[in-house]
Amino acid sequence: MAWLVMIASLILVTWIVSLFTILILSFFPFTNLRAAPLRKRNNVLLVIAHPDDESMFFTPTINFLTSRRHNVQVLCLSIGDADGKGNIRKKELFQACVALKVPMQQVKIVNHPDLQDGFGKVWNHSLLANIIEEQITSHCINMIITFDNYGVSGHCNHRDVHYGVSTNILRKYSGPIDIWLTMIWAMLHSSGTIQYLVNEHPRRSYCAMAQHASQWVCQSMNFVNEKGDRDE
């Protein structure tokens, strides 16, 4: 029993120290001098699968970009109607984007019969490519951000939108402790260009997720507590 108490105490202390480290970095953000593509203002397209993806997975990135006056466009490829709440979730997405300083007119939500939310529903990659290409052309996009090929949580719709970056699911929900894994990863991969974005506006991120009341479940409370998104 004593061992369990010691382990629990160690985890708690590590968590608290990590949280303070995150807060310090949030107040004193650093810039990766090798991140040349972000020195100029870009037209950035964030491509997500469902309403709430922007808040669950990308708020550190969005906060980083909007605070540096990059032009962020959000393309959501479904209304998230798996539970019949598609219309509600559309409104929630617009409200969340306003909280994240992305104007409503820069948010596009697709409601296509072949792109409906749900596990086991594979989306046509050619159809996705055509929709994304149209958005790129119409808004002169020169940077795209979205999921990696695992889709963070393994959701099939996320994987179908598979051109991006994020962390794996264990790290995603490890909380502030992940800051140490992030630092170690950066040291081991110092030869390339890696950008780690500490969430500079955590309160704004919580406010954005709070707009998605229809999706507010226990695991959602872990989504912005930490480090942010990783871009390689």
pLDDT tens for each residue of 95-149: 999 999 999 999 999 999 998 887 778 888 888 888 988 998 899 988 889 887 7
Supply φ then ψ for residue 76, to 5 degrees.
Answer: -105, 125
Structure tokens at 125: 């990659």
Q: Determine the Cα angle at 172 with ends 18 and 144, to 5°.
A: 115
Compute CA distances 172 → 17, 39, 195, 199, whole Å: 18, 27, 16, 13
Which tops the pLDDT comparison, 191 or 218? 191
Q: What is the pTM of this model?
A: 0.64
3-state secondary structure (DSSP) of residue 195: strand
Q: How confident is the model at residue 196 (pLDDT cuts 50, 70, 90)?
A: low
Highest mean pLDDT among 135-144, 159-168, 207-216: 135-144
Q: Is the pLDDT of residue 31 over 60?
A: no
Question: Which is nearest to 60 in space by CA: 171, 206, 219, 232?
Answer: 206
Which tops the pLDDT comparison, 17 or 96? 96
CATH superfamily of 43-173+198-214: LmbE-like (3.40.50.10320)
